[in-house]
Chains A and B, each alone.
Chain A
Amino acid sequence: MTHALRKKIMGGSLMLIFLYGALAIAMPLMESAYQIRIDFRLMPISSTHWLGTDQFGRDTFAMVIGGCFASLSVAAMAVIIGAGIGIPLGLIASASDNILSRSILSLNDFIFAFPALVTAILIHNIFGSGIITAGLAISIFNIPVFARTLYGAARPLWTKDFIKAARLAGKNTISIAATHILPLVSSVALAQISMQMGLGILAEAGLSYVGLGVVPPMPSWGRMLNEAQTLIVIAPRLAIIPGLAIAASVFLFTWIGDKLSDYADPKRREGQDHDRA
């Protein structure tokens, strides 16, 4: 794949992400389309109902569009909190090998034992079902993910000469981390952000499916899967469509994340690695 083509693909996928964002914002406009109308139940695909209606007479197309909001907002919240806490932790831990950095790494290992589902189960009593519970539960798991990735990327940089020079110039660790290290690992961070957006969408769907995520009437792809399950024989499309929406958006984000991490690590760029033999 040529560089120009790659750039076009990157640009195209970024545009698609913006499109998703725009669809998410459009959610309130669709509200009338996904109100319960029993007289319209299980309508087939037609020009008025592009993807048909479900057992409550809600327009499936409007539900899919509306579902963008729940999945994007939960995933974005999880990435903002996870990266906001995880990136500084990873950078601080990478700076030196002392009690602080070891505590951070140990804490990381510990938080990894709390999958989003378990955290959601635990905090459900406090916040109930909703965007907050799902978002927080995924955020907590994202913290060690970001901390570990940034730690790995930043650790080798601290022994470089320009960092020593910065130290000699009297800069402290935090300002070196912010002004010299962070710009160099930003593409790694960006790749991880894209990856975690995708995984966040997956996690939100799982949590909403089991009833720990978004609550009705707000549409959610995970809930749509849940509601479609009993109708799998008469109306399989109700299960296929929201799943396609999830898979497509997750694919989009993880694919961009992959491309970004190839870009961040030239060794991984395809076509450029040569065998020694």
Chain B
Amino acid sequence: MLIRVFIRKLAGLIAFLLLASVLIFLIVDVLPGDPAALMLGTDARPDTLQALRHQLGLDQPLVVQYASWIIGLLHFDFGTSMTYATPVLTLITERLPVSLPLAVMSLALTAMIAIPLGALSAHHHGLTLDRVIKNGLQLALALPNIWLALLLIMIFAVGLHWLPAGGFAGWKSGVIAFKSLLLPLLALAIPQAAILARTVRAEIRDKAQENFVLGARARGLSENDILWHHILPNAMLPVLSVMGLQFAFLIAGTVIIETVFSLPGLGRLIFQSITQRDLPVIKGVAMLLVGSVILVNQAVDLLAALIDPRLRRQSGAFL
């Protein structure tokens, strides 16, 4: 059974990645008309246009263009940037050491804030503490992460001078590197943690009504024991799938928050390439972002099936 789930998720991964690549190719290369004219602007000379078309392979049939792009991707060849004249993959890998830790650490921080807070709130449900947490979460949920970032800069960088307001000196700088990522991490994680904590709270409240909790209580286990060892593990599965969905938000959020803090990550690369109309970079980064969301979500599904055998039976979606 488990191996079948694995094969299905793998097939889903491949199918979704292929579909995403076709869509990205169509939207970026085909729908706008002539990418060469788009990149060079309206007053380009016809012979330069022709030369660029040839360089980009635009004089070939669409199927050939797509095939050469996708075969390149399979060889980790994302094409060459027009503005930097360097391979897109190099540009991406230079920026990943900022963006990847930021995305992964913000997801981890989200869970680290949300799970205890949600559990605490559910444990004290109906009491003042629960109400305070619940209303706090409702407020935090509505905070735009950009604004939160600016407020954090005002307080901790401009006001208290504890942390840098932006920039990144590279991981070699050690503690300074961590310090410059701290505010971006908080700005990303706090609103998402509010969403996740609400899920944690609701799931714990839901699972607390189940018979196994009654059974544990009848056996004389302490309420703390029941919460941490019986309810929480059972409530984690839906929490996991919400986290999978949040990863997409955090990826997008990372790109935006990086520009707020002028971090040299994928955010800066992609917004530069939008203004420069550097289509190979746009395609490459979009494929990377979408691909990583697909990968994480298929992995979460697989993990869920691994934890809960009931989820191994096929139902709902194909893949």
Task: With CB as the reference atom, state the residue of chain A lying closest to B257.
Answer: A206
Interface assignment of B42: CB less than 8 Å from any CB of chain A: no
Please state if B142 and A225 are interface contacts (CB–CB under 8 Å).
no
Q: Which of A209, A239, A258 contacts B138 (CB 8 A)?
A: A258
Q: Whole-angstrom distance between the alpha carbons of A276 and B19 in the complex?
A: 49
CB B288 to nearest CB in A, in angstroms, measures: 10
Please state if A247 and B150 are interface contacts (CB–CB under 8 Å).
no
Please state if B259 and A210 are interface contacts (CB–CB under 8 Å).
yes
**B-side contacts of A219, CB under 8 Å:** none
Q: Which of B20, B126, B143, B153 contacts A247 (CB 8 A)?
A: B143
Q: Whole-angstrom distance between the alpha carbons of A246 and B126 in the complex?
A: 30
Q: Whole-angstrom distance between the alpha carbons of A232 and B293 in the complex?
A: 34
With A126-B31, A243-B147 as given contacts, are A112 and B271 in contact (CB-CB < 8 Å)?
A: no
Q: Whole-angstrom distance between the alpha carbons of A248 and B147 in the complex?
A: 12
With A115-B252, A246-B144 as given contacts, are A121 and B274 in contact (CB-CB < 8 Å)?
A: yes
Residue of B126, B150, B279, B282 contacting most chain A CB atoms (<10 Å): B150
Q: Which of B31, B141, B154, B249 contacts A236 (CB 8 A)?
A: B154
Please state if A273 and B256 are interface contacts (CB–CB under 8 Å).
no
**A-side contacts of B115, CB under 8 Å:** none
Please state if A121 and B150 are interface contacts (CB–CB under 8 Å).
no
Q: Whole-angstrom distance between the alpha carbons of A142 and B216 in the complex?
A: 41
Residue of B20, B144, B255 contacting most chain A CB atoms (<10 Å): B144
Task: With CB as the reference atom, state the residue of chain A lying closest to B249.
Answer: A115
B52-60, B86-94, B311-319: which lies at the A interface? B311-319
Interface assignment of A222: CB less than 8 Å from any CB of chain B: yes
Q: Whole-angstrom distance between the alpha carbons of A103 and B24 in the complex?
A: 21
Q: Whole-angstrom distance between the alpha carbons of A243 and B154 in the complex?
A: 13
**B-side contacts of A228, CB under 8 Å:** 150
Please state if B146 and A125 are interface contacts (CB–CB under 8 Å).
no
Interface assignment of B214: CB less than 8 Å from any CB of chain A: yes
Beta-carbon contacts under 8 Å, B223-238 to A: none
Please state if B271 and A117 are interface contacts (CB–CB under 8 Å).
no
Interface assignment of B251: CB less than 8 Å from any CB of chain A: yes
Please state if A255 and B318 are interface contacts (CB–CB under 8 Å).
no
Instruction: Report, as a range, how many residues of chain A touch the other chain.
Output: 35 or more
- The A contact surface, by secondary structure, is helix
With A109-B297, A206-B144 as given contacts, are A254 and B289 in contact (CB-CB < 8 Å)?
A: no
Q: Whole-angstrom distance between the alpha carbons of A258 and B274 in the complex?
A: 37
How many chain B residues touch the partner (CB < 8 A)? 59
Interface assignment of A251: CB less than 8 Å from any CB of chain B: yes
With A121-B282, A233-B158 as given contacts, are A247 and B144 in contact (CB-CB < 8 Å)?
A: yes
Interface assignment of A4: CB less than 8 Å from any CB of chain B: no
Please state if A117 and B142 are interface contacts (CB–CB under 8 Å).
no
Q: Whole-angstrom distance between the alpha carbons of A268 and B28 in the complex?
A: 45
Task: With CB as the reference atom, state the residue of chain B lying closest to A116.
Answer: B252
Please state if B142 and A251 are interface contacts (CB–CB under 8 Å).
yes
With A113-B294, A210-B271 as given contacts, are A125 and B143 in contact (CB-CB < 8 Å)?
A: no
Please state if B317 and A109 are interface contacts (CB–CB under 8 Å).
yes
CB A108 to nearest CB in B, in angstroms, measures: 7
Interface assignment of A124: CB less than 8 Å from any CB of chain B: yes
Q: Whole-angstrom distance between the alpha carbons of A205 and B252 in the complex?
A: 13
CB A67 to nearest CB in B, in angstroms, measures: 12
Q: Whole-angstrom distance between the alpha carbons of A258 and B138 in the complex?
A: 9
Q: Whole-angstrom distance between the alpha carbons of A225 and B143 in the complex?
A: 13
Interface assignment of B270: CB less than 8 Å from any CB of chain A: yes
**B-side contacts of A198, CB under 8 Å:** 142
Task: With CB as the reference atom, state the residue of chain B lying closest to A211.
Answer: B271
A–B complex contacts, Cβ < 8 Å, 23 sampled:
A97-B315, A102-B318, A109-B297, A109-B319, A114-B290, A116-B252, A117-B252, A121-B282, A122-B28, A122-B286, A126-B32, A205-B146, A206-B145, A209-B146, A211-B271, A236-B158, A239-B151, A243-B147, A254-B142, A270-B126, A273-B209, A276-B214, A277-B214
Q: Interface of B with A (CB < 8 Å)?
A: 12, 16, 19-20, 24, 27-28, 31-32, 38, 126, 138-139, 141-147, 150-151, 153-154, 158, 202, 205, 208-209, 214, 217, 245, 248-249, 251-253, 255-256, 259-260, 270-271, 274, 277, 279, 282, 285-286, 289-290, 293-294, 297, 315-319
